[in-house]
């Protein structure tokens, strides 16, 4: 397929298809999760300071005492690439323009040089975390195909986008098409892989904290 035709398809039909699967998949998964229900807890609540959903969200968002020193790569690398990924997605001017065209929402972006630097740091953090997972026997044993697959799904849009911006490896039109296609693959797979935690992480932490907080158990 001609490079321009591939890019046109990726920016049109491909994007519409990916967004449709993404939205329907997210809605379906959320309905599936929140329709499970739970029997009403008839026990008397125990009021213990710090035992609540909101406290749990905060506690689970920071390293437990001693764990940052014990596993610095997991925590520091994880924070760096999650924050960096969010910055690249939501604060890069072309991405903001795309969101504006789709949803009508817009906000100021960061200078392209800063986003470029953050992209490199984010990719480096992801590679370090991957190496740590491969070289640590326990982490490697616990890892499944889903872990390697979701890492690849997340890394490819960063790499192809950075290469496209810098006109490296392949002609710009082809590289931009590959970047958009990698994003579309990510959107299609997100609702059905571990990446769906982007929509459930804080809700699940709050729920676990609220349930245990009712029993007076901080988690």
Q: Mean pLDDT across the stretch 36-54?
A: 77
* Closest-CA residue to 162 (of 149, 148, 172): 172
178 pLDDT above the threshold of 90: yes
Q: For residue range 87-113, what is the model confidence (pLDDT) as tens digits?
A: 999 999 999 999 999 999 999 999 999
210 pLDDT above the threshold of 90: no
3-state secondary structure string across 156-170: HHHHHHHHHHCCCCC
CB-based burial label for 70 (10 Å; 0-12, 13-18, 19+): exposed
**Could you tell me the pTM of the whole model?**
0.90
CB-based burial label for 43 (10 Å; 0-12, 13-18, 19+): exposed
Q: Mean pLDDT across the stretch 183-195?
A: 96
- For residue 111, what are its two tokens? 């200078």
Residue bearing the bigger pLDDT, 56 or 89 = 89
Please state, rounded to an integer, the average pLDDT across all residues of the chain: 92
Q: So what's the pLDDT on residue 21?
A: 97
- For residue 32, what are its two tokens? 């599936």
- Grade residue 70 by pLDDT with cuts at 50, 70 and 90: confident
Give the number of residues written for the chain: 219
CB-based burial label for 85 (10 Å; 0-12, 13-18, 19+): buried
Residue 164 CA to residue 189 CA, distance in Å, equals 23
- Grade residue 1 by pLDDT with cuts at 50, 70 and 90: low
């Amino acid at each position: 397929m001609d490079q321009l035709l591939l890019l046109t398809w990726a920016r049109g039909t491909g994007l519409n298809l990916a967004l449709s699967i993404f939205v329907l998949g997210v809605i379906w998964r959320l309905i599936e999760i929140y329709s499970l229900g739970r029997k009403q807890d008839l026990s008397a609540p125990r009021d213990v300071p710090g035992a609540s959903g909101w406290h749990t969200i905060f506690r689970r968002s920071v390293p437990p005492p001693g764990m940052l020193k014990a596993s610095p790569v997991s925590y520091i690398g994880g924070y760096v690439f999650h924050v960096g990924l969010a910055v690249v997605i939501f604060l890069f001017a072309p991405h903001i323009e795309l969101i504006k065209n789709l949803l009508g929402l817009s906000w100021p972006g960061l200078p392209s040089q800063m986003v470029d630097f953050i992209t490199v740091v984010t990719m480096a953090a992801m590679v370090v975390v991957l190496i740590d997972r491969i070289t640590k026997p326990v982490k490697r044993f616990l890892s499944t195909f889903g872990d390697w697959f979701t890492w690849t799904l997340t890394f490819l849009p960063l790499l192809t986008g950075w290469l496209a911006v810098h006109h490296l490896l392949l002609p710009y039109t082809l590289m931009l098409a590959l970047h958009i296609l990698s994003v579309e693959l990510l959107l299609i797979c997100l609702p059905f892989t571990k990446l769906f935690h982007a929509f459930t992480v804080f809700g699940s932490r709050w729920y676990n904290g609220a349930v245990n907080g009712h029993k007076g158990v901080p988690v």
